[in-house]
Amino acid sequence: MTDKADGKRPWVFIQGQQAFQFDSQQHDSLLEAMEAHKVPVHYECRSGYCGACRTMTLDGQVEYQHQPIAFIRKGEILPCCCTPTTDITLVRD
C-alpha cells in the first residue's frame, strides 16, 4: 500500500466496499465522497461538533478545514469535515 497520495487523489479503502479515489475538486469532505460512492455512513451536524460520523481508520492521514470539537478517540476521524491527505483505510462497524 502506498503512503503518498496518488497524484493528489488519495485512495480510500473501506472494508467490504469498492475502493475509490478522493478527488478534492469534486468533494469538499470525505463524507461527501463516501456518499457519492454509496458508502453508508451516519451523519448529523455535518460540521464537526456532533461526532455522529466518527469513523475508525487503520491507517492514513486527514486534514481538517476547521478544528472539530466532537469527541473522537485516537485513530478516529470525522469525515464530515476532513479530507484525506494520504491513502486511507476506514473501518466499518
Partner 1 sequence: MKYTTFSREQNDALKEPMFFGNPVNVSRYDQQKYPIFEQLIEKQLSFFWRPEEVDVSKDRIDYQALPAHEQHIFISNLKYQTLLDSIQGRSPNVALLPLVSIPELETWIETWAFSETIHSRSYTHIIRNIVKDPATIFDDIVLNDEILKRAEDISRYYDDLIEATRQYQEYGEGQHTLPSGDTINISLRSVKRKLYMCLMSVNVLEAIRFYVSFACSFAFAERELMEGNAKIIRLIARDEALHLTSTQHMLNIMASGEDDPEMAEIAIECHAEATELFRFAAEQEKDWARYLFKDGSMIGLNETILCQYVEYITNVRMQAVGLPKAFETSENPIPWINTWLASDSVQVAPQEVEVSSYLVGQIDNSVDVDDLSEFSL
Q: Which residues make up the interface to partner 1 (CB under 8 A)?
A: 40, 42-47, 49-52, 54, 67, 69-71, 73, 93
Contact by Cβ (8 Å): 14, 89: yes
b/e sequence 58-85, b meaning 16+ C-beta within 10 Å = eebebeeeeebebebeeeebbbbbbbbb
Q: How far is the CB of 43 from partner 1 (least distance, A)?
A: 6
Question: Residue 52 or 85: which CB sits closer to partner 1?
Answer: 52
- The DSSP letter of residue 17 is S
Question: Residue 21 or 50: which CB sits closer to partner 1?
Answer: 50
Q: How far is the CB of 40 from partner 1 (least distance, A)?
A: 7
Question: Residue 6 or 44: which CB sits closer to partner 1?
Answer: 44
What is the C-alpha separation between 76 and 72, in angstroms, rounded?
A: 6
Q: How far is the CB of 93 from partner 1 (least distance, A)?
A: 7
